Chains A and B, each alone.
Chain A
Amino acid sequence: MNWELIFSNAVYVAFSSSAAAYALIAIGINVHIGYTGLLNFGQAGFAAAGAYGMAIPLATFGWHWTAAIGSSIFFAILLALLLGAPTLRLRSDYLAIVTIAAAEIIRISMMSVRFTWLTGGTDGKKGFADFLVDSNPFGDNRYQFFAQSVNGYSLYITIIGWILVAIFGSLVYFMMRGPWGRVLRGIREDETAVRSLGKSVTKFKMQSLVLGGVIGAVGGIILASEKQSAQPMEYGTTLTFFAFTIVILGGLATARGPIIGAVIFWFILQFVDNVLEQATRNEVVPTWVVNGNNFGQVKFILAGFALALLVVFRPQGIYGNKREMSFDSR
């Protein structure tokens, strides 16, 4: 068992561009569920809109990268409007069901053989990352983080990712401290009361859905940029519920929650994965317990039960004020 590699890789992953992407996606979901009380179960759809919204114009239509990022944001806003319009006036579980369905529609469409020329099908959409490769100041150099070797491109995307996390994290922090955020938090508590005070609740909810969706799309851009490929399988429901786990772990309705949550979440997941990988490879554990083929599922099992247990036993996350952060208002 190479403990140095296990640890350095887990720490690396906890601060990698993937973790940054998940932090962004979780910041978005925190705007929805943490601050506004909107049950968005389709955040993966927003991330996919971000990734494909950028990748397709760049790779297929040869747009400039700035325009491609604009298109990415455009599709996230469009998706929020399409999902919000029919559901935001209805009871909250309708939004949940419609968003999860919409996210699956997007994923299945992206995988469709029929649109392979456009979306890349199951192989994913590639060939869009030239602008990132060309602007990468670290080149092909490799850097050593203890036993973990990191290439220049990954380092570049990691830095961009965490800069974006800082930007959007503080943006959300300041927005929520202002009167607008106060209205959102009011809606989370009791939208009828907020309506009686002269606020157009549907409009505020829509603004929240757009904001969180756009931040999720930015997360999707990072996710695709890191691999230089927008992979449809990555935008499944698992992504959304990992983001949920991250937000609850770090603390709902706090600015730092999704960021700290992402780091802890990825550290634990990668650590467990690494230990199991080495254990099965070195045959430290008998194969009937866990083997080289199924150890990869353990992290999903952990993440799922962690989500359920957190909500029941520590809804306020690993630290924090119980009252503000649970889902239960009374």
Chain B
Amino acid sequence: MTPAKQVIADAIPGSKKQDPILRVDGLRREFGGLVAVDIAHLEVQRGAITALIGPNGAGKTTAFNLMSGFDTPTNGTSEFDGVDITGVQGHELAQRGMVRTFQLTRVLTRLTVLENMMLGAVGQIGEKPWTSPFRFLWTKQEDEIRERSEALLKRFKLDHVAGEYAGNISGGQRKLLEMARALMVEPRLVMLDEPMAGVNPALKQSLLGHVKNLQSEGMSVLFIEHDMDMVHEIADWVVVMAEGRLIAEGTPDQISSNRAVVDAYLGEHQGTSFLEDA
């Protein structure tokens, strides 16, 4: 396993990174006059695990939706891997290697676990209505996809439920399935929306391992998290949002001692959870 990558950048909101995989500028989203997100500038370092934290209602998920093309910003531009992706839709971003998961797992309940996985592969020949009925056109690719799916399922310890309907597996298994399925897209940037929320400690450890694995395989990770322990354990870099804006950036250690962050959490939680966690 390669060691965690050092992010060399200034610990100020919107700082420049050496080699950004994602860059957003002037990202803003209003809901009927209320500003939910207003990020002046943000860069996400390639090959690093970046955590996005902030108190409830800070606009983390909205920012996620905007960056992943699942919501349309009021204004703002973004760039993925050096290419302008302003206005590009979510599915197209996924095809280009930027995949996301959801806070509440979204497994396809009446498809089997294996089908959930195989659906994730991009560039499938048989995904056209005119090729789908002709098995010989896509059977070779389908076999490759199946092999890849089975390998991933094994890695995520889901191979024993491959034939089950995804609606029948446990909540924890759904979290694993969603992460494994995202990998079927062969992404360069994986965006995880609270991957560790509401799972038991044992599973948490296993998910942590999987996230670290993504990095060692050369993927960049951006994830939303509430639990500072988790952030400390795996994040190379932390971005903090409050009231729709970036209020701090830095290494986990720098963030723990950041006055603005503590204040932001104090306002929200009366100081208990964050200080204890840190």
Direct chain A–B contact by Cβ atoms under 8 Å:
yes
Contact A190–B108 (Cβ < 8 Å): yes
Partner of A192, one of B106, B138, B142: B106
Chain B residues 136 to 165 lying within 8 A of chain A, measured CB to CB, are 138, 142, 165
Docked complex Cα distance between A324 and B124 (Å):
24
Contact A197–B133 (Cβ < 8 Å): no
Per-residue interface assignment for chain A, residues 319 to 330, with 1 indicating a CB less than 8 Å from any chain B CB and 0 otherwise: 000011000011
CB of B185 within 8 Å of the partner chain: yes
Q: What is the chain B residue whose CB lies nearest that of A324?
A: B110
Docked complex Cα distance between A11 and B184 (Å):
51
CB of A185 within 8 Å of the partner chain: yes
Which of A38-46, A135-143, A173-181, A274-282 contacts the other chain? Answer: A173-181
CB of A79 within 8 Å of the partner chain: no
Contact B132–A198 (Cβ < 8 Å): no
**Least Cβ distance of A30 to chain B in Å?**
15
With a 10 A CB-CB cut-off, give which of B110, B118, B134 has the most chain A CB atoms.
B110
Contact B129–A207 (Cβ < 8 Å): yes
CB of B95 within 8 Å of the partner chain: yes
Docked complex Cα distance between A180 and B119 (Å):
9
Contacts of B115 in A (CB 8 A): 182, 185-186
Docked complex Cα distance between A179 and B130 (Å):
11
Docked complex Cα distance between A23 and B102 (Å):
40
Contact A196–B101 (Cβ < 8 Å): yes
Contact A329–B181 (Cβ < 8 Å): no
Contacts of B172 in A (CB 8 A): none
CB of A194 within 8 Å of the partner chain: yes
CB of B90 within 8 Å of the partner chain: yes
Contact B95–A198 (Cβ < 8 Å): yes
Q: What is the chain A residue whose CB lies nearest that of B186?
A: A198
Docked complex Cα distance between A190 and B132 (Å):
21
Assess A179 versus B167: contact at CB under 8 Å? Given A193-B108, A195-B90, A196-B70. Answer: no
Docked complex Cα distance between A54 and B142 (Å):
40
Contact A192–B108 (Cβ < 8 Å): no
Q: What is the chain B residue whose CB lies nearest that of A210?
A: B129
**Least Cβ distance of B176 to chain A in Å?**
15
Contact B132–A179 (Cβ < 8 Å): yes
Assess A185 versus B91: contact at CB under 8 Å? Given A192-B70, A192-B102, A194-B119. Answer: no
Partner of A175, one of B110, B125, B132: B132
Q: What is the chain B residue whose CB lies nearest that of A178?
A: B132
CB of A199 within 8 Å of the partner chain: yes
Q: What is the chain A residue whose CB lies nearest that of B128?
A: A180
CB of A48 within 8 Å of the partner chain: no
CB of A189 within 8 Å of the partner chain: yes
CB of A287 within 8 Å of the partner chain: no
For this complex, into which size category does the number of interface residues on chain B fall? 35 or more
Partner of A197, one of B132, B138, B167, B181: B181
Contact B110–A323 (Cβ < 8 Å): yes
Contact B70–A179 (Cβ < 8 Å): no
CB of B120 within 8 Å of the partner chain: yes
Contact A180–B126 (Cβ < 8 Å): yes
Docked complex Cα distance between A303 and B131 (Å):
37
Contacts of B126 in A (CB 8 A): 178-180
Docked complex Cα distance between A176 and B129 (Å):
9
Contact A175–B129 (Cβ < 8 Å): yes
CB of B85 within 8 Å of the partner chain: no
Contact A329–B167 (Cβ < 8 Å): yes
CB of A147 within 8 Å of the partner chain: no
Contact A198–B131 (Cβ < 8 Å): no
Contact A185–B110 (Cβ < 8 Å): yes
Contact A181–B111 (Cβ < 8 Å): no
Q: What is the chain A residue whose CB lies nearest that of B122?
A: A198
CB of A171 within 8 Å of the partner chain: yes
Contact B110–A189 (Cβ < 8 Å): yes
CB of B107 within 8 Å of the partner chain: yes
Docked complex Cα distance between A180 and B132 (Å):
6
CB of A247 within 8 Å of the partner chain: no
Contact B127–A179 (Cβ < 8 Å): yes
With a 10 A CB-CB cut-off, give which of A189, A198, A323, A330 has the most chain B CB atoms.
A198
**Least Cβ distance of B143 to chain A in Å?**
12
CB of B23 within 8 Å of the partner chain: no
CB of A200 within 8 Å of the partner chain: yes
CB of A183 within 8 Å of the partner chain: yes
Contact B91–A201 (Cβ < 8 Å): yes
What are 9 of the A-B contact pairs (CB < 8 Å)? A174-B135, A186-B111, A186-B119, A196-B100, A196-B101, A197-B181, A198-B91, A198-B95, A200-B91
Can you name 16 extra interface pairs (CB under 8 A) apart from A178-B135, A189-B109? A175-B132, A178-B132, A179-B124, A179-B127, A180-B132, A182-B111, A182-B115, A186-B116, A186-B119, A188-B110, A189-B110, A190-B107, A193-B102, A196-B182, A197-B185, A198-B120
